[in-house]
A and B are shown apart, each in its own frame.
Chain A
């Protein structure tokens, strides 16, 4: 059954068809939410809210990319969730160091099993990118996640965030510049192939 058929069935009230659509896109939705929220629990909440919202708004779907439409709902759910978190900040379940400061990457959450170098490097890179991504302003982070992680084109992102194309371009350029500046701070910690060296071109 094609996606369009599923959509039509879902709009007509077929819950199974709707759930098949959810299953098809829930990984993309959760991944986008996770990269925007930087917190798996909050991302799961946002994704669930997005699914519920999608069920209610299904009759407003007017064609086009269903994934983009769903990601738009997910992004809005993330904005709502971020606002809610700002209203009710929670205490993170992270241990404190000897000086009473929160440990950013708690060692007790890490896998104690020895990892090969490649995996360790990849994890370092992932950690650095996640850190820099989380440090970005919300508006820049959303655009970067949608373009570079979710693989949406500029036009779709423009529709998702409900801003003109020029704003998308501008925000993406700023986001990349900020990310680049941030990753430079990690320097030697990054795997060599991802190290942003100036010497190579100077």
Chain B
């Protein structure tokens, strides 16, 4: 018996079959016959293939067990069928297309509208926070809040920097100091004497002493102070009057101002309303489902 190692290479095998079936050109045939004359292996394979082909061709022809011709009734039935059959034959295609439309529309439109959204978003961000951009131009200035009256709550410690020694000492004392030391980094003394009421300083006041080129010098601290009143002061809890407890005094960002992404999203929603409404989507999905079901039924019935 032959073993697998006698298996012809694919090229030789194909050439042998082509030679056997007479589909080689004259030149190819001559070339192959030269190889065939030299190769015992090819000769053996040719003999085997010839036997095989003879054996296969010797199979008796199976006559048709019945007549396959069509009757007039069958032809009439065939002519009726095309009305519905092709229609439902395309049902599967329609179902696939509709499903593709439904499920890709969102993706496609979102993908193409995404850059716009980003632009809007960035524009909104820019417009929403111009002060941030401007703020970068001006050197940051430490904000120092002083709480008015005798109940000043610290802050003076920082103000003590650059001040003279007594001022610094009072500053370090924190909230119990009467009056507040407010000193910027300009080196100018703005220390208030103990017991002296510090007048409210507008921010311009602090900035007034700044040189025209703030980059060259250290930023000056803005100073805020609440006016001290001589009226009896309601005690503060965490800086909030008792009567204000439970109320929103302030929030950041302000409640009326939306964040930039929210603004951008709103803008996008207004500018690009949904291209395929939800109702239409549901309708399309339902029809796709029905069509797919019909296609499946027809496919299985075949």
Contacts and interface: CB of A to CB of B under 8 A. Distances in A.
Interface string B1-37: 1101011101001101110010100000000000000
A15 B21 contact: no
A47 B65 CA distance: 11
A15 B70 contact: yes
A51 interface: yes
B10 A40 contact: no
A169 to B, nearest CB: 5
Given A30-B62, A173-B17, A196-B52, A148 B302 contact: no
A154 interface: yes
Interface string A148-187: 1100011000000000000001101110110111011001
Interface stretch (B40-48, B116-124, B139-147): B40-48
A52 B14 contact: no
Given A26-B67, A27-B64, A30-B63, A201 B55 contact: no
Contact of B13 (A29, A149, A177, A194): A177
Interface string B46-87: 011101111111111111111111101011001000100000
A88 B296 CA distance: 15
A127 B187 CA distance: 113
Contacts of A82: none
A91 interface: no
A153 B140 CA distance: 90
B49 A180 contact: yes
Nearest to B69: A19
Interface residues of B, number: 46
A31 to B, nearest CB: 5
Interface residues of A, number: 56
Given A19-B69, A196-B51, A198-B6, A148 B57 contact: yes
Contacts of B60: 126
Interface centre among A129, A170, A176 (most CB of B within 10 A): A176
A130 B55 CA distance: 11
A7 interface: no
A73 B44 CA distance: 37
Interface of B: 1-2, 4, 6-8, 10, 13-14, 16-18, 21, 23, 40, 43-44, 47-49, 51-70, 72, 74-75, 78, 82, 302
Interface of A: 15, 18-19, 22-23, 26-31, 34-35, 40, 43-44, 47-48, 51-52, 55-56, 80, 84, 122, 125-126, 129-130, 133, 144, 147-149, 153-154, 169-170, 172-174, 176-177, 179-181, 183-184, 187, 193-194, 196, 198, 200-202
28 contacts: A15-B72, A18-B69, A19-B69, A19-B70, A26-B68, A27-B61, A30-B64, A30-B65, A43-B62, A44-B65, A47-B64, A51-B68, A52-B74, A55-B70, A56-B82, A84-B302, A129-B56, A130-B59, A133-B56, A148-B53, A172-B21, A173-B14, A174-B13, A176-B13, A176-B17, A196-B51, A198-B44, A201-B40
